[in-house]
Amino acid sequence: MKTFFADGKGKGHFENLPEPALKENEILVKICYCGVCGTDQDLFSGSCSFAENGQVTYPVRLGHEWSGIVEKVGSSVTKFKLGDRIVGDNAVACGECEDCTNGDFDKCPNTRYVGTIDPVYDGAFSEYFVIPEHHVYKIPDGISLKEAALCEPFSVAYGATKRMNINSESTVAVIGTGCIGMAAAVLSICAGAGKTVVIGRNPEKLKAAKALGAEIINIRNQDRFEEIDRMTGGKGADFVIECSGAQGTFTDSINLARGGGIIGLIGFYEKSETDVNVDTIVSKSLNIFGVMGEYGNMSGVLKILEQKKPNMLPIITDELNFEDCMKGFVRSNYPNSIKTMIKICEE
Ligand SMILES: [Zn+2]
Ligand SMILES: [Zn+2]
């Protein structure tokens, strides 16, 4: 099976590996699509804090945003059969410790991270991929394998929207036009938000946000505070989802939120935000939380996709064949890309 390895420093290579052996609780997946994440690009370049702090062991098998088809199942697998269309979690628990035995997979002390940092679990930029049954989910009918490869970033965004009581009266402001921002906007729309507003600066990406059904604010030529005030009758956003990690956007979030508003932080910041006005947080009684992936988010996302069948395709701005995937790992090749999808096998 053809498998891609990142070697760091902007280099990578393919290897032809033998078909892996299966443990009884594991599934062999024929990978159809795997999305390129910003983390993949960082790890490929090697110039990121993870690599610099020695949290990555090269060569590394990247790929944690995959969709595929069940090719073979281990002897104890009961929930999946040959030909099922599936996606999976971005972290893999050992399945053997006390927590795993109790079904508390997110407490497993032996968790490995799919295709990223140590302790690493071999990623999915490969023709075949092995994963335990308890991390696998069926793709609902009507969702294509290509769209389904967006489920992992959607599961990250869902960590914010599931903590927000979004309804038809709500205004949700999403800062950032990357894949997570788009996913947050789609989930907000699916939750029935009265207004979902994506705030960014790249006109191409904002166009995609509009195609998804969001309203947009381009900070290059619009004042985000005036616009949100106008849209909400001066009240401010009920919910703010910060997905950009850009300097100043934490302060923006505080200022965009209404009194009693809720702010979910998904973006990672390169530097500490030093200029935060804590008094604004206190006087507006804001509720602020951070989002990291959790076990269970994937099934939550799949349920929403099954019920609402949102149009996700505008998020996939670029597509490459597997042999050309290295092009997709170089960020500067695709300055307007929201999600570059690698097609690994025919469906
Ligand atoms: Zn990712
Ligand atoms: Zn465990």
CATH number at residue 216: 3.40.50.720
pLDDT at position 152: 97
284 and 318 housed in the same domain: no
7 and 146 housed in the same domain: yes
Number of domains in the chain: 2
161 and 137 housed in the same domain: no
Q: In degrees, to the nearest 5, what angle opens at C-alpha 171 toward C-alphas 166 and 177?
A: 100
52 and 190 housed in the same domain: no
49 and 167 housed in the same domain: no
> CATH number of the domain that 76 lies in?
3.90.180.10
Query: What is the reported pTM?
Result: 0.96
64 and 122 housed in the same domain: yes
pLDDT at position 50: 85
Range of the domain at 67: 2-150+312-343
Is position 226 within any domain? yes
Is position 207 within any domain? yes
- Mean pLDDT on 258-266: 98
Q: How far is the CA of 64 from the centre of ligand 1 (A)?
A: 6
146 and 37 housed in the same domain: yes
241 and 282 housed in the same domain: yes
User: To 10 degrees, the CA torsion angle through 299, 117, 49, 316?
Assistant: -40
89 and 176 housed in the same domain: no
pLDDT at position 49: 85
Give exposure, 247-257, as e/b (b: 16+ Cβ within 10 Å). eebbebbbbbb
Q: How far is the CA of 270 from the centre of ligand 2 (A)?
A: 32
193 and 101 housed in the same domain: no
pLDDT at position 293: 77
Is position 297 within any domain? no
117 and 58 housed in the same domain: yes
pLDDT at position 287: 98
Q: How many CB atoms lie within 10 A of CB 263?
A: 24
Summarised one tens digit per residue, pLDDT across range 13-55 is 999 999 999 999 999 999 999 999 999 999 999 988 888 889 9
Per-residue tokens: 26:
């594991």
104 and 195 housed in the same domain: no
Q: Which residue has the higher pLDDT, 294 or 66?
A: 66
Q: How far is the CA of 174 from the centre of ligand 2 (A)?
A: 35
The ligand that comes nearest to the alpha carbon of residue 42 is: 1
The ligand that comes nearest to the alpha carbon of residue 109 is: 2
Q: How far is the CA of 102 from the centre of ligand 2 (A)?
A: 9
